[in-house]
Structure 1
């Protein structure tokens, strides 16, 4: 549902996006920034828990009611699970906001880590995409981002 804000609606507003990632309030015709936050939560959940997001039915509705019993969070950090849950709150007013996500210490450490790696790659004459943890496996990325050295635990 990403769009310019404030939304300039002309004529009929057509719902866009995949229903797998749709926020619960969209079913009631309520559109807003919080719907995008919910969708982000679904994407993060899908990637982190290695699941196929349900396309309808009871499991689909369960995720929109903060019911994660079918999701196996084993092996994920408590910090990540808490972030997913805050992104996917049923009540849009209780969902974390985009600025809150950007200001989260884990996100900040990830951004700083990637900026350092990007600068190192550029300095070494390499492609800047090597600053991404997705470009190649980098020693210490998870430890640094989750802040193990900052008194936080990974699991």
Structure 2
């Protein structure tokens, strides 16, 4: 199967012609549990380079973890992390994760544990964000979250 982006390997970020041109960064991630730690590292490095405050970075890393985990466990590939530079006028930072749409079967972690051991991700995202949601199209789904810069 061929995708229009290249999978992230060896922790090197995906570079595209548009990356950064509109104030956003994006990385294609492996559809594997390792994507979560890779996404956290990429997000932390980028947010710190943008000068985002420590509290907002910490909250953003939790949200990135939840959104990427959701994509790996419940959706089809590809998985792409998007970060938008802070909107100082609105006082928010946008985090988004795109995937290939819902999967017919759960991921390995979800399939291996009891129902009460998972399912809290949406509560975490709700608690840490000013707004969040999802869009779905023919190419897949994108889950996004806006975090307060003053977190």
Q: TM-score, normalised by structure 1?
A: 0.28
Larger radius of gyration: 1
More helix by share: 1
Q: TM-score, normalised by structure 2?
A: 0.28
User: Which structure is higher in RCO with an 8 Å CA cutoff and minimum separation 6?
Assistant: 2
